[in-house]
Structure 1
């Protein structure tokens, strides 16, 4: 995963997955009866949390253990 093209592709996949998670979180919170601004905040938190989790998992999988 050291190639620039591969990194950009994984970045795009992670970002799209995080946007889907955020949209689902916002939609579910709005259907639960929250206000629209509150649902937008929940969607943003879900999107950023999912993206940072993806970045951390990608770093864990691709890093080499130090000896």
Structure 2
């Protein structure tokens, strides 16, 4: 899997979270050393788009609701 640090938009403020990608699941943790994830995003059926940014890595994960 892959892992890395990102900021999460929670509609009112951004929170720093550590992300780990395993297969089609994106787990997120409060910090790199955390043992239990805060949550998981199942990427099946989702589109991941890279966003242009000169300073940081950004992406948008969206899912078509039917």
Larger relative helix fraction:
1
> What is the TM-score when the length of structure 1 is the normalising length?
0.21
Q: Which has the higher contact order (CA 8 A, sep 6+)?
A: 1
Q: Which has the higher strand share?
A: 2
